[in-house]
A and B are shown apart, each in its own frame.
Chain A
Amino acid sequence: EPEVTQTPSHQVTQMGQEVILRCVPISNHLYFYWYRQILGQKVEFLVSFYNNEISEKSEIFDDQFSVERPDGSNFTLKIRSTKLEDSAMYFCASSFLRGRLYGYGYTFGSGTRLTVV
Chain B
Amino acid sequence: AQTVTQSQPEMSVQEAETVTLSCTYDTSESDYYLFWYKQPPSRQMILVIRQEAYKQQNATENRFSVNFQKAAKSFSLKISDSQLGDAAMYFCAYRNAGGTSYGKLTFGQGTILTVHP
Q: Which residues of A contact B (CB under 8 A)?
A: 31, 33, 35, 37, 41-45, 48, 50, 55-56, 89, 91, 93, 95, 97, 100, 102-104, 106, 108, 110-111, 113
A102 touches B45 (CB 8 A): no
Using a CB–CB cutoff of 8 Å, the interface residues on chain B facing chain A are 33, 42-45, 47, 50, 52, 91, 93, 95, 97, 102-110
Query: Given A42-B91, A42-B110, are A89 and B43 neighbors across the interface (CB < 8 Å)?
Result: yes
Main secondary structure of the interface of A (DSSP, over half): strand
Chain B interface main SS type: loop
User: Are the CB atoms of A33 and B104 closer together than 8 Å?
Assistant: yes
Quote the shortest CB–CB distance from A7 to chain B (angstroms).
Answer: 15
CA distance A48 to B44 in the complex (A): 19
Q: Are B102 and A111 in contact (CB under 8 A)?
A: no
